[in-house]
Structure 1
Amino acid sequence: MAATLTSPAPPALAVEDGPDRAVARFGGRLVVAGLVALEAAAADLRPPAGKPITLDLSEVEALDTAGAWLVLQLKARLEASGASVEIAPGDPARAALIETVARALPDAEEDAGGRRGFVAWLEGVGAGVVGVKDTAVSLLGFLGLTLARLTAGILRPWTLRKAALFHHMQEAGFNAFPIVALMSFLIGIVLGFQGASQLQQFGAEVFVVNLIAISLLRELGILLTSIIVAGRSGSAFAASIGSMKIREEIDAMRTLGLDPIDVLVVPRTLALLIMLPVLGFISNMAGLIGGGLMAWVDLGVSPGMFVTRLYETTGVWHLIVGMVKAPFFAVVIAVVGCWQGMLVGGSAESVGQRTTQAVVMAIFLVIVIDAVFSIFFSEMGV
């Protein structure tokens, strides 16, 4: 007896107009291979005036994501025309597939000619305030978690990942020595030149030493170093963690029982905590050398006189005031960079956006914290 092969039923769509409700009944296999013939029928479907319509999938033999997309597109088009539409999947598996596809669909683009005026502007301001609040809460939560894990690691140093720590110390610290020293040297030259130009008008050239030393030691040395580190290392943290997020390496860590905070965030944060004060000190020294060189060339202040004047008029508190800020700047730069990396979505474009946001936000917060410290030390008379 020969076996009979039956071809799969093609997709079909029939509309039944009932007294209270219309039913669009799908049949056959709603899969990608046979949807071309069904698209025209779905495009010509018009709901009966004043009646709700049900998209019935109970007689469908097979449904894939393409078929679910077609059903959802038909539902969206009918609802846009004013009809009340309901999907009857007829099977829990089909309902789950349709829900999954619906969540994956992109949001509809807003109408360019939408609402305008004061109310729309006020709504935008309110949405922006809520967004800032949500961002602040997320960042503070990540900061608290990082500080908790960092404290636990410092109290139990044998749990720290030494190889990762030394690697990030080299990348974020030692490799940044040349650019930080060069930048500070040039800033010292600029301060010396501008200070000499102004102080010569009053015959107070000798005070250029005070100008250079106090400006660099209290403010510019550590501030400009932190800005460079934010642009250099903060962006690197965000990009590297974001790339791992896209490749699902962070999900793999969690599957293996590894905490991404301990593995990725704590070593980077601790590395910056160690290296940023060192970079700040190098920045101060390079700036003083540049300023002393310009004072010697432009004003005739010899290196010996410069050092003597520096020793006599500049107290160690100016250096301490600058160095106290370094750990706070380090934590902000590392946490913001890692936090933005953890927020990366599923595309390469998201990596670029989050990296840019990490740099901008880190620099902004560094400047805000520096202003707070300046006001605090001024009020304390330090």
Structure 2
Amino acid sequence: MTAAPTTADAAPDANVYRCVGSITISRAASTQREIDAAPDPLVLDLSGVEKMDTVGAWVIYRAVRDRGAKIVGAKGDVAALIERAPEFDHPAQVRPEERPGHLRVMEEIGGWVVEAGQTLVGLVSFLGAVLIGFYDVIRHPRRIRWTAVISRFDLVGVRALGIIGLMSFLIGIVVGQQGAVQLEQFGAEIYTINLIGRITVRELGTLMTAIMVAGRSGSAFAAQLGTMKITEEIDAMRTIGVSPIEALVLPRMAAAVIMMPLLAFYAMLMSLLGGGIYVWADLGIPPLTFIQRLQEVTPLRDLWVGLIKAPVFGFIIALTGCFQGMQVEGNSEEVGTRTTNAVVQAIFLVIVIDAVFAVFFSQIGWI
């Protein structure tokens, strides 16, 4: 606490302000008012101060700086704290220093390149750890956690049927409508069936399913593993001799690889159903004609192209989601950041690999 100003034990022309007890943030405002009310010349007697924090030290220092007050009786930690106060008496830069625009752009691009390189190296390293874990599980089949794999079937596959079916059904309608509008100009509406059949079976069925699984299951994998990383469950597993790769990563990857072809095939059927309903309702082509035309214009290899890509996409999605989840450190905010990164990176890699597959199948004549 503080005492009122007094002239006791001071020079005749001095006003002594004796401080007693604590000068902390809780008393800073009242202490400042009393010091401001004391007339000059001012002497601050700190011999009775038992406790002081940085805010209290700043109040005393400011009286010395602005009013030329004298300090007497300061000792120990109180004196040391007041002596350090001038070190922090400098203006703070509220806004960062402005730099030329081209330098900022180059810095951001460089940061993206470095981050992309580090992510790629980390992803390849994580892939190596996954392959080693898979090899160990193959050598010791009893270590396969079938319960965990089956539970991931439900997350990746069964619970995704509704949204994937609806999305694919609507995509079939959109492809049919847009194709019919263009082909109608040439009197070739019948070829809308060709467009629906080939583009949904060969490309859109698998690609859109992969994007949906990346946004749904890939993000879930990253969030689940990231939360376990924060709560130190993964560290606890390592402590008791359980491999997180075998217990957490491999079941998720197995579920994604196995369920993706099934989901892709289901998406193809729903897209064809949506396109068939559209051409029946708008173009007047009956379902039997639609099915017969599909059999004529859609080769079986288109189905194989879509189904071959599906497990690769599932592997990439699970790998990216698990990798980002295992990279979580620090706080819960990191979980959200890594989850977002998992979805973005998975979709990017799926599209890149789909382009690679397109070139590959074209080179071998599967067009």
Per the alignment, in what secondary structure is the counterpart of residue 301 of structure 1? coil
| Aligned equivalents of 2:253, 2:332: Cα separation in 1 | 25
Number of the residue aligned with 1:357: 341
In structure 1, list runs of 5 or more residues that go unmatched.
1-9, 11-32, 45-58, 61-69, 82-107
| Structure 1 residues 126 and 109: CA distance shift in structure 2, 3 A | farther
The counterpart of 2:265, out of the listed 281, 284, 301, is 281
Number of the residue aligned with 2:45: none
| Aligned equivalents of 2:312, 2:93: Cα separation in 1 | 41
Alignment partner of 1:306 is 2:323:
no
For the Cα contact (< 8 Å) 1:196–1:298, is it kept in 2? no
Number of the residue aligned with 2:53: 36
Number of the residue aligned with 2:118: 134
| Structure 1 residues 202 and 120: CA distance shift in structure 2, 3 A | closer
| Aligned equivalents of 2:203, 2:147: Cα separation in 1 | 33
The counterpart of 2:331, out of the listed 344, 347, 350, is 347
Alignment partner of 1:170 is 2:162:
no
| Aligned equivalents of 1:111, 1:152: Cα separation in 2 | 55
Q: Map Cα deviations across residues 261-282 of structure 1 (whole Å, 9 max, x no partner).
A: 1111110000000101100000
Alignment partner of 1:149 is 2:166:
no
Number of the residue aligned with 2:229: 245
User: Bigger radius of gyration, 1 or 2?
Assistant: 2
Q: Map Cα deviations across residues 53-75 of structure 1 (whole Å, 9 max, x no partner).
A: xxxxxx99xxxxxxxxx99xx69
Number of the residue aligned with 1:18: none
Number of aligned residues: 300
| Aligned equivalents of 2:120, 2:354: Cα separation in 1 | 19
Per the alignment, in what secondary structure is the counterpart of residue 242 of structure 2? coil
Alignment partner of 1:193 is 2:177:
yes
| Aligned equivalents of 1:185, 1:151: Cα separation in 2 | 40
Alignment partner of 1:160 is 2:144:
yes
Report the residue type matching 2:231 in the other structure: R
The counterpart of 2:245, out of the listed 261, 270, 274, is 261
Alignment partner of 1:213 is 2:197:
yes
* Residue 360 of structure 1: how far off its partner (Å): 1.2
For the Cα contact (< 8 Å) 1:325–1:373, is it kept in 2? yes
Report the residue type matching 1:146 in the other structure: V
| Structure 1 residues 199 and 271: CA distance shift in structure 2, 3 A | same
Alignment partner of 1:324 is 2:308:
yes
Q: Map Cα deviations across residues 10-35 of structure 1 (whole Å, 9 max, x no partner).
A: 9xxxxxxxxxxxxxxxxxxxxxx956
Number of the residue aligned with 2:318: 334
* Residue 80 of structure 1: how far off its partner (Å): 10
Structural RMSD (CA): 2.9
Number of the residue aligned with 1:99: none
Number of the residue aligned with 2:4: none
| Aligned equivalents of 1:130, 1:162: Cα separation in 2 | 39
Q: Map Cα deviations across residues 133-177 of structure 1 (whole Å, 9 max, x no partner).
A: 111101111122213323443454322111110000111111111
| Aligned equivalents of 1:283, 1:41: Cα separation in 2 | 68
Alignment partner of 1:222 is 2:221:
no
Report the residue type matching 2:198 in the other structure: I
Report the residue type matching 2:196 in the other structure: I
Number of the residue aligned with 2:44: none
In structure 2, list runs of 5 or more residues that go unmatched.
1-21, 23-49, 62-75
Number of the residue aligned with 2:355: 371
| Aligned equivalents of 2:58, 2:173: Cα separation in 1 | 77
- Deviation larger for 146-155 or 199-208: 146-155
Q: Map Cα deviations across residues 175-234 of structure 1 (whole Å, 9 max, x no partner).
A: 111111111111111112222222222122221111101000110000000111011101
Q: Map Cα deviations across residues 278-336 of structure 1 (whole Å, 9 max, x no partner).
A: 00000001111111111111112111111111112211100111111111111111111
TM-score by length of 1: 0.71
| Aligned equivalents of 2:155, 2:326: Cα separation in 1 | 20
Per the alignment, in what secondary structure is the counterpart of residue 112 of structure 1? coil
| Structure 1 residues 36 and 232: CA distance shift in structure 2, 3 A | same
* Residue 346 of structure 1: how far off its partner (Å): 2.1
| Aligned equivalents of 1:43, 1:353: Cα separation in 2 | 44
| Structure 1 residues 316 and 163: CA distance shift in structure 2, 3 A | same
* Residue 362 of structure 1: how far off its partner (Å): 0.9
Alignment partner of 1:315 is 2:305:
no
